[in-house]
C-alpha cells in the first residue's frame, strides 16, 4: 500500500487493510467487511491506494509533457467525497429518515426563514374581510372547519401536541395565539399557507372557497388560550420591583383598564362615600336585621349574589350581622358557623376582623403588620406581580404574565383566592388567616396555601361525599381534580379577568366556548354524530348547553342560590340516591325524581349501563 495514501491520514493503516495479503484473498477480515457492506462505500478509495491502479492515476512519466501532477488531488477529492457518502449512508441506515425525531435548531431556523421568504408581498398584506369577533358567526363557522380539517395535527389550541402532530417531520407549525403574535403572522400569510400548503411537509394546500379559508383565519385568531401541561417549571420570576397600583397601567393599556374597571374583580369592595350606588337595598325599609345606617358603612362587599357591609374599627374592618340576598331581594342574617376558623374566633362578628379572614383576597399587597394595601380590589398586580419595573420598561420580561407560565402556576393565579383552604403555618403572629399570606404570583402557591382536606363519603360544609365542592369560592378545589386541568386548559382559557360582555367574564357565550375544543366526533369528544345525538335534547335548548350537564349549579353561595361546579364530571342520578349529590338532570327537571332521570338515561343506547348505575 502507498505510504502517501490520503486515507492513511484519515484512518489508521491497520483499520483499512492487513499489513500483507491481497484483496482477493478470501477470508481476510477486510474482505469480510466488504462482503457484509460495512466498508463498501470506501472500497473504491482503498483500491486507489494500491499499486498498480493508484500508480497509473498518480505517477506521471514525464512532468514536462504532462504538466502538473493532479493525481494526488483527484485521489484526495474522491476520498473526501466517498467519506461524505459513507457518513450519509451511515446517517440513513441509523434512522436518519425517521419522522419521530425533532429538527435541529439550525434546520428549524433555516426552514422557517425560507417559508417566510416564500410568501409574496401582495399575499402578506391581504386583509381578512370577515369578522374575528369571538362570538360571531364567522368564527363559529371557522371552528367547524378547523375541527374537521386541522385539529388532528394542530390540536384544539394550535400547539400541535396531538398524536399525529408529534409524529410528523417537520412538526406542524405552532398556531397558538401566542405563537402567531410572536411571529407577527398577518391574516394574509395565514390565508396563503392554508390555500397553498407548504411543500415537503404534511401541510396540504386546502381546496376551500375563499370565504371558508378566511373563516379559518378568523377562528385561528380565536383559538383557546392554554398553558404548558408537559410538567411544572421553576416559579416564574421578574426583576425586583414594588407595587404601583392599577392606575399606573392605564396610560399604556387604556382599553384593558377601562374594561377591567367595570368587572366584579375591580368592585369587590367599595366605599359608599365614593360610590353611593354600591348599596343595592333600601336601608330605610325597617327590616329588624338592619341595625346600621349608610354613614356607618365603611365598605360594601359584593353585588352579584349577596351584599355585606363592613364597619371600620381602628385599623380593621368587621362585618355587620346582616346580608342582602340579591337574587331574592331580601335580608338574611350573616354569622359564619361552619368554616374551619370558627373555633378560633368568638361568635361575635365584631371580633372577627376581615383583615385576617377576607382582605388578602380583596386587595393587592395586604400587609398583615400595618394592615395597609397598595389598592383595594383585585387589581392588575394581583395577577401580574409588582409592576414598577414594567412601568419604567414596557418590555414583556419586566412583568409576569400567567399566559407565559406552566399550567400549575397559571391556574394558581386564580386558585390563590378561588379556593377553600388555609395557610400551612397557622396561626401567624397569633392570628388564624383564611388566605395565602405572603404569596404573590412569582412564588409557588403550595408553599403558602393548603387546599381543604376532604374525607371521601362524607358530606361537609365544603364538600359533597365524592369530593365535589359543596360551597362557593371553591372553583380551584374542583378544577384541580378535572381532566381539563391536566391537559393545559386554564382559567383564562374560558375567562378574561380584564372584562368581557358575557357573564362571569367568559370570553364568549358558554354554549360556544366549549365547542372551541369539543365537537361532534372531535378527538376531544363528544363521540357522537351530532351534538343533539349526544345531549338527547333539541339543538339550542337549555338541555343542549354543555354547562347544563357538565357544570351544574350545585355549590351553595347563599340560601338556595348556587354556582356552577368546576369538575366537569357528569354526576349521575344514581349518585344522588346513594350520596345525596345533586345531579344535572334534576337541577333542570325539578318536577321529576332521580329514578325518572335514571330510567331516561338507560334509554340512551350509547351510554354504559354500568356508569349510570353509580
Q: Are 516 and 143 in contact (CB under 8 A)?
A: yes
Grade residue 71 by pLDDT with cuts at 50, 70 and 90.
confident
Q: How far apart are CA 72 and CA 57, in angstroms?
A: 8
Beta strand pairing status for 363-364 and 375-376?
A: antiparallel
Residue 377: DSSP 8-state: S
pLDDT reported for residue 263: 97
Helix (H, G, I), strand (E, B) or coil at 562: strand
Grade residue 346 by pLDDT with cuts at 50, 70 and 90.
very high
Q: How far apart are CA 609 and CA 381, in angstroms?
A: 50
pLDDT reported for residue 525: 87
pLDDT reported for residue 428: 97
Query: For the residues 172-197, what does the mean pLDDT come to?
Result: 93
Grade residue 127 by pLDDT with cuts at 50, 70 and 90.
very high
Lowest mean pLDDT: which of 60-64, 145-149, 227-231, 283-287? 60-64
pLDDT at 424 over 80: yes
Domain final position from 220, 244, 260: 220
Write out the three cell numbers for 39: 466498508
pLDDT reported for residue 272: 97
Query: For the residues 600-610, what does the mean pLDDT come to?
Result: 86
In terms of pLDDT, which residue wins out, 78 or 523?
Answer: 78
Lowest mean pLDDT: which of 72-76, 89-93, 174-178, 380-384? 89-93
In this structure, is residue 420 part of a structural domain? no
> 558 forms bridges with which residues in the sheet?
561
Which residues span the domain enclosing 559?
A: 475-612
In this structure, is residue 321 part of a structural domain? no
Instruction: Give me the chain's average pLDDT, please.
Output: 87
Q: Work out the end-to-end distance of the chain between its first and last CA atoms, rounded to an integer number of angstroms.
A: 84
Is the same domain home to 153 and 203?
yes
Beta strand pairing status for 299-301 and 316-325?
A: unpaired
Domain final position from 188, 220, 252: 220
pLDDT reported for residue 269: 97
pLDDT reported for residue 21: 41
pLDDT at 42 over 50: no
At a CB cut-off of 8 Å and minimum separation 6, what does 420 contact?
451, 452, 462, 469, 471, 473, 474, 477
pTM: 0.79
Is the same domain home to 600 and 555?
yes
Q: Convert the pLDDT of each residue in 571-585 to its tens digit.
A: 999 999 999 999 999
Q: Convert the pLDDT of each residue in 319-344 to its tens digit.
A: 999 999 999 999 999 999 999 999 99
pLDDT reported for residue 457: 92
Beta strand pairing status for 306-313 and 363-364?
A: unpaired
Is the same domain home to 520 and 590?
yes
What size, in residues, is the chain? Answer: 614
pLDDT reported for residue 68: 57
- State how many domains the chain has: 3
pLDDT at 364 over 80: yes
Q: How far apart are CA 441 and CA 416, in angstroms?
A: 9
Helix (H, G, I), strand (E, B) or coil at 518: coil
Is the same domain home to 481 and 548?
yes
Lowest mean pLDDT: which of 6-15, 254-263, 264-273, 325-334? 6-15
Grade residue 422 by pLDDT with cuts at 50, 70 and 90.
very high
Is the same domain home to 485 and 583?
yes
* E strand or H helix at 421: strand 421-422
Q: Are 506 and 516 in contact (CB under 8 A)?
A: no
Query: For the residues 578-600, what does the mean pLDDT come to?
Result: 94
Q: Are 412 and 490 in contact (CB under 8 A)?
A: no
Q: Are 301 and 295 in contact (CB under 8 A)?
A: no
State the residue for C-alpha cell 386541568: 485
In this structure, is residue 46 part of a structural domain? yes
Grade residue 86 by pLDDT with cuts at 50, 70 and 90.
confident
In this structure, is residue 326 part of a structural domain? no
pLDDT at 527 over 90: no
pLDDT reported for residue 608: 82
State the residue for C-alpha cell 403555618: 425
pLDDT at 568 over 90: yes
Q: Are 570 and 550 in contact (CB under 8 A)?
A: yes
State the residue for C-alpha cell 414583556: 396
Is the same domain home to 40 and 164?
no
pLDDT at 6 over 60: no
Is the same domain home to 546 and 592?
yes
In this structure, is residue 378 part of a structural domain? no
In terms of pLDDT, which residue wins out, 107 or 66?
Answer: 107
In terms of pLDDT, which residue wins out, 523 or 35?
Answer: 523
Is the same domain home to 510 and 580?
yes
Grade residue 511 by pLDDT with cuts at 50, 70 and 90.
confident
pLDDT at 510 over 70: yes
pLDDT at 199 over 50: yes
In this structure, is residue 164 part of a structural domain? yes
pLDDT at 28 over 50: no
pLDDT reported for residue 62: 54
Domain final position from 220, 253, 274: 220
pLDDT reported for residue 101: 77
Query: What is the SS3 assignment for 294-332?
Result: HHHCCEEECCCCEEEEEEEECCEEEEEEEEEECCCCEEE
Is the same domain home to 127 and 42?
no
Give one DSSP letter per residue of 208-277, joined into a string: --HHHHHHHHHHHTTPPPB-B-S---SPP---S-----GGGGTTT-HHHHHHHTTSGGGGSEE-TTT-GG
Q: How far apart are CA 550 and CA 564, in angstroms?
A: 9
> Of all residues in the chain, what percent carry a pLDDT higher than 90?
68
pLDDT at 459 over 50: yes
Give one DSSP letter per residue of 568-613, joined into a string: -PPPPHHHHHHH----HHHHH-TTS-HHHHHHHHHT-TTS-HHHHT
pLDDT at 25 over 50: no
Grade residue 57 by pLDDT with cuts at 50, 70 and 90.
very low
Lowest mean pLDDT: which of 101-115, 207-221, 443-457, 538-552? 101-115
Is the same domain home to 489 and 598?
yes
At a CB cut-off of 8 Å and minimum separation 6, what does 223 contact?
156, 157, 158, 175, 176, 177, 516
Query: For the residues 74-92, what does the mean pLDDT come to?
Result: 86
Residue 376: DSSP 8-state: E
Is the same domain home to 480 and 564?
yes
Residue 428: DSSP 8-state: B
In this structure, is residue 49 part of a structural domain? yes
pLDDT reported for residue 22: 41
At a CB cut-off of 8 Å and minimum separation 6, what does 561 contact?
305, 306, 325, 327, 328
Is the same domain home to 483 and 605?
yes
Query: For the residues 548-567, what does the mean pLDDT come to?
Result: 96
In terms of pLDDT, which residue wins out, 50 or 301?
Answer: 301
The candidate with the shortest Cα–Cα distance to 329, out of 287, 297, 269, is 287
CATH value at residue 170: 1.10.760.10
Q: Are 380 and 246 in contact (CB under 8 A)?
A: yes
In this structure, is residue 388 part of a structural domain? no
pLDDT at 97 over 80: no
pLDDT at 7 over 50: no
Query: For the residues 106-130, what does the mean pLDDT come to?
Result: 92
Amino acid at each position: 500500500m502507498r505510504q502517501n495514501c490520503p486515507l492513511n491520514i484519515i484512518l489508521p493503516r491497520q483499520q483499512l487493510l492487513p499489513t500483507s495479503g491481497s484483496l482477493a484473498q478470501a477470508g481476510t477480515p477486510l474482505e469480510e467487511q466488504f462482503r457484509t457492506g460495512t466498508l463498501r462505500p470506501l472500497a473504491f478509495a482503498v483500491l486507489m491506494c494500491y499499486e498498480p491502479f493508484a500508480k497509473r492515476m498518480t505517477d506521471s512519466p514525464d512532468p514536462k509533457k504532462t504538466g502538473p501532477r493532479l493525481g494526488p488531488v483527484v485521489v484526495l477529492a474522491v476520498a473526501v467525497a466517498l467519506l461524505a457518502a459513507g457518513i450519509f449512508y451511515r446517517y440513513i441506515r441509523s434512522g436518519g429518515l425517521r419522522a419521530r425525531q425533532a429538527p435541529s435548531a439550525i434546520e428549524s431556523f433555516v426552514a422557517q426563514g425560507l417559508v417566510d421568504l416564500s410568501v409574496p408581498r401582495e399575499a402578506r398584506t391581504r386583509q381578512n374581510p370577515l369578522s374575528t369577533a369571538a362570538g360571531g358567526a364567522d368564527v363559529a363557522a371557522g371552528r367547524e372547519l378547523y375541527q374537521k380539517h386541522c385539529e388532528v395535527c394542530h390540536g384544539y389550541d394550535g400547539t400541535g401536541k396531538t398524536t399525529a402532530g408529534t409524529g410528523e417531520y417537520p412538526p406542524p407549525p405552532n398556531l397558538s395565539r401566542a405563537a402567531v403574535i410572536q411571529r407577527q403572522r398577518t391574516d394574509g400569510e395565514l390565508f396563503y399557507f392554508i390555500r397553498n400548503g407548504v411543500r415537503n411537509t404534511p401541510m396540504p394546500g386546502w381546496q376551500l372557497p375563499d370565504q371558508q379559508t378566511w373563516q379559518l383565519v378568523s377562528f385561528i385568531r380565536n383559538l383557546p388560550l392554554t398553558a404548558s401541561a408537559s410538567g411544572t417549571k421553576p416559579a416564574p420570576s421578574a426583576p425586583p420591583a414594588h407595587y404601583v397600583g392599577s392606575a399606573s397601567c392605564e396610560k399604556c393599556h387604556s382599553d384593558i383598564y377601562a374594561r377591567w374597571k367595570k368587572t366584579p374583580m375591580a368592585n369587590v369592595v367599595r366605599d359608599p362615600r365614593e360610590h353611593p350606588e354600591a348599596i343595592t337595598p333600601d336601608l330605610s325599609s325597617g327590616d329588624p336585621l338592619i341595625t346600621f345606617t349608610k354613614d356607618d358603612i365603611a365598605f360594601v362587599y359584593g353585588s352579584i349574589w349577596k351584599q355585606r357591609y363592613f364597619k371600620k374599627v381602628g385599623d380593621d374592618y368587621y362585618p355587620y350581622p346582616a346580608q342582602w340576598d340579591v337574587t331574592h331581594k331580601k335580608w338574611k342574617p350573616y354569622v359564619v358557623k361552619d368554616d374551619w376558623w370558627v373555633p378560633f374566633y368568638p361568635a361575635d362578628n365584631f371580633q372577627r376582623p376581615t383583615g385576617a379572614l377576607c382582605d388578602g383576597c380583596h386587595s393587592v399587597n395586604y400587609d398583615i403588620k400595618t394592615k395597609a394595601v397598595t389598592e383595594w380590589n383585585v387589581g392588575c398586580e394581583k395577577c401580574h406581580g409588582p409592576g414598577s419595573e414594567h412601568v419604567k420598561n414596557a418590555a414583556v420580561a419586566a412583568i409576569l404574565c400567567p399566559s407565559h407560565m406552566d399550567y400549575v402556576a397559571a391556574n394558581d393565579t386564580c386558585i390563590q383566592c378561588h379556593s377553600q383552604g388555609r395557610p400551612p403555618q397557622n396561626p401567624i403572629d397569633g392570628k388564624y388567616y383564611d388566605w395565602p399570606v405572603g404569596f404573590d404570583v412569582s412564588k409557588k402557591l403550595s408553599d403558602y396555601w393548603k387546599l381543604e382536606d376532604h374525607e371521601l363519603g362524607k358530606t361537609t360544609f365544603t364538600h359533597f361525599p365524592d369530593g365535589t365542592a359543596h360551597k362557593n369560592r371553591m372553583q380551584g378545589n374542583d378544577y384541580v381534580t378535572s381532566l381539563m386541568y391536566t391537559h393545559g386548559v386554564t382559567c383564562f382559557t374560558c375567562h378574561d379577568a380584564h372584562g368581557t360582555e358575557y357573564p362571569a367574564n367568559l370570553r364568549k357565550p358558554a354554549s360556544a366556548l366549549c365547542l372551541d375544543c369539543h365537537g361532534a366526533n372531535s378527538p376531544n369528544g363528544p363521540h357522537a354524530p351530532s351534538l343533539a345525538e349526544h345531549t338527547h335534547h333539541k339543538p339550542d335548548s337549555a338541555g343542549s348547553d354543555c354547562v347544563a350537564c357538565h357544570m351544574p349549579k350545585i355549590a351553595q353561595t347563599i340560601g338556595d342560590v348556587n354556582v356552577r361546579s368546576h369538575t366537569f364530571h357528569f354526576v349521575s342520578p344514581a349518585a344522588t340516591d346513594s350520596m345525596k349529590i345533586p345531579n344535572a338532570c334534576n337541577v333542570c327537571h325539578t318536577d321529576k325524581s332521580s329514578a325518572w332521570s335514571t330510567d331516561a338515561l338507560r334509554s340512551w343506547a350509547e351510554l354504559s349501563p354500568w356508569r349510570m348505575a353509580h
